[in-house]
Structure 1
Amino acid sequence: MKKIAVVLSGSGVYDGSEIHEAVLSLLAIEKHGAQWHCFAPNINQHHVINHITGEEMDTTRNVLIESARIARGNISDITTLDVNQYDALLLPGGFGAAKNLTDFAFKGAQCTINESVATACRAFAEVKKPAGYICIAPVIIPMIYSKGVQGTIGDNKEASDAFNALGGQHISSSIEDVVFDPEHRVLSTSAYMATENLLEASVGIESLVKQLVEIA
């Protein structure tokens, strides 16, 4: 059975992983006959957001511990991720990808990526194992692959301009579309970057995971 490494960034759309996207991804992996194990960096979140009010809270939370809520404990520190043990990589979205895995939410095209996350993602890229990036997570793609790598964040102009400025080639897409760069074996889909509808988001995620498992 194929094994997919899933990288999470916390728990909650505004400061961590988008929970719907993460759960839909895990469900799709199992539906298509593969296994999953989650990973996350053992760091504090950039900040904690009250998901009722949208306001920042005066507290701290750990990305790995919060991500474990979604994974039901089936999770490890990303520094332990061994590319030889997995067939593919998957990163759901949520602002955690842009606040905890990277600082894209604050610096745009001048952003940097967490060193442990970069090491894990580049390990899959270097051995040509496929990877999938969902929602805002595709901003990571140009930081991992060579110049001109193709990916999508839907049709959001600000994010797509930043994707191009980082060295990628952004492909505008609709909610159901999956962009596949065959040279780099990387897939991306827009999910909640292009909708607020759970059912619509599930279509692109399901399609991406299906392709990811097939080519793994």
Structure 2
Amino acid sequence: MSDTKKIAVILSGCGVFDGAEIHESVLTMLAIAKQGAEYTLFAPDINQHHVVNHITGDEMNEERNVMIEAARIARGAIKPLSEFNVTDFDALMMPGGFGAAKNLSSFAFEGADSSVESETMRAIKETHSAKKPIGALCIAPAVIAKALGNIEVTIGQDKGTADAIEKMGATHKQTNHGEVVIDQTNKIATTPCYMLDANILQIAEGAENVVKATIEMI
């Protein structure tokens, strides 16, 4: 049993427009389990940037906590990201959703000039320093690029996002559905998912491929 790989997954809320993308999050968890590994879910214990009505796209006049919202996906089994200890895990995974660009960072608003939320930054930096792999889906590779700089990632084909990633010192590679860019030197695997116009089957394929690539680098 001690050989079971342990993966830390960082969620950024619950819902594509203001939190973690739910399909990407669940399919990442499923992919980890299918690989015979275990996951532990984390989220920063902070307020969301804002709350969005997912039917209308309008901002709502209320406040929500990132970790409490992410706990919906986690069925309650979630820890504050401040409790993340890199020595307990073999790899780190980050699903996408606007929460990655609004709550885990300010990338949605400031692009290349953005900052990364402090506990998220610590988790990424400590995992990278420990030479343990990091997997990221959708827009989350932009957060990794901001945190680490000179790495190779993909967010698919969106020129504006790719340009911002290059501005942050990273290299962007264009990809299609299910494709994974693997930076072997830095042990980073990324895939575009909903950064492309995708269906749930394509998201499942992307999640499986990026999880497999990440676990293979352990």
Normalised to the residue count of structure 2, the TM-score between the two structures is 0.97
Normalised to the residue count of structure 1, the TM-score between the two structures is 0.98
Aligned counterparts of 1:8 and 1:95: Cα–Cα separation in 2: 11
Counterpart check, 1:104 vs 2:86: no
Q: Is the 8 A contact 1:125 1:144 kept in 2?
A: no
Residue 211 of structure 1: CA displacement? 1.6
Residue 214 of structure 1: CA displacement? 2.2
Aligned counterparts of 1:68 and 1:60: Cα–Cα separation in 2: 16
Deviations 1:76-122 (A, max 9, x none): 01011000000000000000000000011111111001011100110
**Residue in structure 2 matched with residue 191 of structure 1 by the alignment:** 193
Residue 203 of structure 1: CA displacement? 1.1
Q: Aligned letter for 1:89?
A: L
**Residue in structure 2 matched with residue 170 of structure 1 by the alignment:** 172
Residue 146 of structure 1: CA displacement? 4.4
Counterpart check, 1:84 vs 2:87: yes
Moved more, 183-192 or 138-147: 138-147
Number of equivalenced pairs: 215
Within a 5 Å distance, the mapping from 1:1-216 to structure 2 comes to: 1-147=4-150, 149-216=151-218
Q: How much is the aligned-residue C-alpha RMSD, in angstroms?
A: 0.8
Q: Is the 8 A contact 2:177 2:198 kept in 1?
A: no
Q: 1:206 to 1:183 in 2, by over 3 A?
A: same
Aligned counterparts of 2:147 and 2:104: Cα–Cα separation in 1: 13
Residue 57 of structure 1: CA displacement? 0.4
What is the aligned-residue identity percentage?
A: 47
Q: Is the 8 A contact 1:150 1:171 kept in 2?
A: yes
Deviations 1:107-153 (A, max 9, x none): 11110010111001100000110000100000012223242x10000
Give unmatched runs, 5+ long, in structure 1: none
Q: Aligned letter for 1:190?
A: P
Aligned counterparts of 1:175 and 1:112: Cα–Cα separation in 2: 28
Q: Aligned letter for 2:105?
A: T
Aligned counterparts of 1:144 and 1:101: Cα–Cα separation in 2: 11
Q: Is the 8 A contact 1:145 1:184 kept in 2?
A: no
Q: Aligned letter for 2:216?
A: E
Give unmatched runs, 5+ long, in structure 2: none
Aligned counterparts of 2:168 and 2:148: Cα–Cα separation in 1: 11
Q: Aligned letter for 1:40?
A: A
Q: Aligned letter for 1:86?
A: F
Q: Aligned letter for 2:13?
A: G
Aligned counterparts of 1:173 and 1:34: Cα–Cα separation in 2: 27
